[in-house]
Amino acid sequence: MSRTRVYAAADAALLRTLAEDEPVTPERVTAASQDEEDEYDALLTAAEHGPVVVCAELDDADAPIRLRDVQSFHLDADGSGDLAWYAPQELDEVIELLGG
């Protein structure tokens, strides 16, 4: 069974819930295809709705997201407008960048 990659906007509260290994159900964006450009467009669309984008792979695109599903976090860490990539293991750092 193939997994679906989703992009979801998140704030510090949602990230703290993930850090506690609790499931979250934010609104999410899926790419029109697996084409790199479509994936990037989905990432940017999700970024319009929150300071951090959670990229996760799910068996069901509508399933809750758990930390084990997260592939990466993306945020504008330096105010440049460019989204920096963070690994799931860097969740605490991402929360800290948002001001805790």
Mean pLDDT by 10 residues, the chain (100 residues): 91 97 96 94 96 96 96 93 96 91
Per DSSP, 24 falls in state B
Question: Which pTM value belongs to this model?
Answer: 0.94
**Cα–Cα nearest to 9, from 19, 24, 31:** 24
DSSP β-ladder status, 28-30 and 4-10: antiparallel
pLDDT of residue 79: 86
Q: How far out from the chain centre does Cα 59 lie?
A: 16
Do the beta carbons of residue 60 and residue 4 sit within 8 Å? yes
Q: Give the pLDDT of residue 25.
A: 97
Phi, psi of 55 (to 5 degrees): -105, 120
